[in-house]
Amino acid sequence: MGAKLTTRRLAAAVTITVFALLVTACTGGSHTQPVSPAANGGSQAGSGGGAGGASAPAAASTDPNAPVVSISPADGAKNADPAAGVTVTAAKGTLSSVKVSPAGGALANSGNTSGPVSGTMNSGSTSWHTQWALGISQKYAVTVTATRNGETKTTTSTFTTLSPSSTFSTHIFEGDGQAYGVGMPLILTFSQPIKNKADVERAVELKTSKPVIGAWYWDGSQTLAFRPRDYWPENTSVSFIGHFNGVKAASGVYGFHTLTQSFRIGRSVIAVASTKTHHTQIFISGKLKYDWPISTGRPGDETPNGSYLTIEKANPVEMKGPGYDLMVPFSVRLTWSGVYYHDAPWSTGVQGTVNVSHGCVNLSPARAETYYNLAVPGDPITIKDSPKAGVWGNGWTYWFLTWRQLLAGSATHQAVQAGPTGSTFVDASALPASTAKAPIGTAASGIWGTGPK
């Protein structure tokens, strides 16, 4: 039996096993008023100093050998743009060290403890810039040491960043410490539309225990997903850091929080179902483990082609449609419209020979239970050989996209290389070609259904 129309879970009296995602997911809270830095040792941003906090050189020295250093924002600036960060340059001499720290302790609203702000020096040691945006409503202290002709000079500066009229919050779908399948995208949802999409992408840092190549993809202006080029390596630990505090999302709209989360990619469990052969194959850790007879959607209710992912599971699920209302055990969802892999004892006699369901993939009770116990969110499921095309957005359909389409959906149009030390943006054309083969290493994306409009 399928679940083409509506599905709902039983009341609390019936045992339900559902993927624990949203309950444990992490969300940065929201602010509608400017945040005062007073509690963190700063001062409330005033009207002086200008919004930009233009750079200013240190006081002129009469010593012709003295280094000449400039710091932006200028000393004493208020309402400095946090998205612009800090830039230190040595017009004469070289920079020995640069330290930028929140004045008075912990960084306001960041979720981080106090400590120096990270940055990068150019190869000639004449320019330094912060790596991430600064926090909003925050007072900072800058200490710069420079040398020239054997003379060393230390310059200090303080400034305060602006308090924005509006902020955005960010929600990450993945739950802390949870396990996901090898196809799982990292999904972010923003409380406000994002205009400066490339800046938001570049504010994210990924650390993975195994090397991963992927790309960001915007599904509208409030949903951003990271999908690997090929399936994640199984048993990969993933750490996410969204350095959104101070990132300018749109005119007058800034992030206010640094969002962190860690999760893991578990064992590779991949299902491939053919509506033509009436069989599904289950691959575990790259090897074919099961080849089971199935029954898919009957004529008029065909199971749609697509490279899907498991979304959730429940035991049982109430499935309702024309002429039926059943409690169906061991049900694993793959589309929002109600296509499941599930227990179907009523069709065991024709499983492997005829398609009789209302759109779901029917399995025998024992086989449905086996797959149910294996499944976690993000396990790939491919439906093929159906006359009906899948539809973008009906489920987690990011694997409908080719690698080229995925890159086109990024505001940077660049690939992301992640590993144990962090992530970097790279030109996709400079990467070695993928050697992954479907269905084990990657999805046969781009041919199974209709892509995004």
- Paired strand residues for 328: 317
Q: Is residue 45 pLDDT above 90, yes or no?
A: no
Residue 13: the pLDDT is 36
Closest CA to 175 of 163, 159, 186: 186
Tokens at 283, concatenated: 């691959």
Residue 306: the pLDDT is 95
Q: Is residue 15 pLDDT above 90, yes or no?
A: no
Active site residues: 342, 360
Please, are residues 363 and 350 in contact by the beta-carbon 8 Å criterion?
Answer: no
Across 282-295, average pLDDT = 98
Q: Which of 2-16, 35-49, 241-255 has the lowest mean pLDDT?
A: 35-49
What's the distance, Cα to Cα, between the start and end of the chain in Å? Answer: 31
> To the nearest whole number, what is the mean pLDDT of the chain?
87
Across 217-224, average pLDDT = 98
- Strands 212-218 and 415-419, by their bridges, are antiparallel
Q: Which residue has the higher pLDDT, 23 or 116?
A: 116
Hey, where are the domains in the chain?
A: 1-34+164-453, 38-160
Closest CA to 373 of 344, 316, 332, 328: 332
Which residue carries 């963190």 as its tokens?
40
pLDDT digits (tens, 9 = 90+) for 297-318: 999 999 999 999 999 999 999 9
In this prediction, residue 52 has a pLDDT band, given cuts at 50, 70 and 90, of low
Quote the CA–CA distance of 357 and 146 in Å, as a whole number.
75
In this prediction, residue 427 has a pLDDT band, given cuts at 50, 70 and 90, of very high
Q: Which CATH number fits domain 38-160: 1.10.1200.10, 1.10.274.10, 2.40.10.120, 2.60.40.3780?
A: 2.60.40.3780
Q: Is residue 6 pLDDT above 80, yes or no?
A: no
* HEC letters along the chain: CCCCCEEEECCCCCCCCCCCCCCCEEECCCCCCCCCCHHHCCCCCCCCCCCCCCCEECCCCCCCCCCEEEEECCCCCCCECHHHCCEEEEEECEEEEEEEEECCCCCCCCCCCCCCCCEEECCCCCEEEECCCCCCCCEEEEEEEEEECCEEEEEEEEEEECCCCEEECEEEEEECCCEECCCCCEEEEECCCCCCHHHHHHCEEEEECCCEEEEEEECCCCEEEEEECCCCCCCEEEEEEEECECCEEECCEEECCEEEEEEEECCCEEEEEECCCCEEEEEECCEEEEEEECECECCCCCCCCEEEECCEEECCEEEEECCEEEEECCEEECCCCCCEEEECHHHCCCCCCCCCECCCEEECHHHHHHHHHHCCCCCEEEEECCCCCEECCCCCCHHHCCHHHHHHCCCCCCEEEEECCEEEEECHHHCCCCCCCCCCCCCCCCCCEECCC
Quote the CA–CA distance of 398 and 406 in Å, as a whole number.
8
Q: What kind of architecture, by CATH, is found in domain 1-34+164-453? A: Beta Barrel (2.40)
Which phi-psi region, left, alpha or beta, contains residue 177 (left: φ > 0; alpha: ψ -120 to 50)? left
In this prediction, residue 1 has a pLDDT band, given cuts at 50, 70 and 90, of low
Residue 452: the pLDDT is 76
Across 113-119, average pLDDT = 77
Q: Is residue 3 pLDDT above 80, yes or no?
A: no
Inter-CA distances, 285 with 266, 353, 374, 425, Å: 10, 28, 12, 29
Q: Which of 46-50, 279-283, 377-381, 408-412 has the lowest mean pLDDT?
A: 46-50
Phi, psi of 407 (to 5 degrees): -60, -40
Quote the CA–CA distance of 212 and 231 in Å, as a whole number.
9
Across 406-416, average pLDDT = 98
pLDDT digits (tens, 9 = 90+) for 182-211: 999 999 999 999 999 999 999 999 999 999
Residue 63: the pLDDT is 75
Q: Provide the percentage of residues in the chain whose pLDDT is more than 90.
A: 79
Q: Which of 51-65, 135-149, 260-274, 341-355 has the lowest mean pLDDT?
A: 51-65
pLDDT digits (tens, 9 = 90+) for 323-382: 889 999 999 999 999 999 999 999 999 999 999 999 999 999 999 999 999 999 999 999
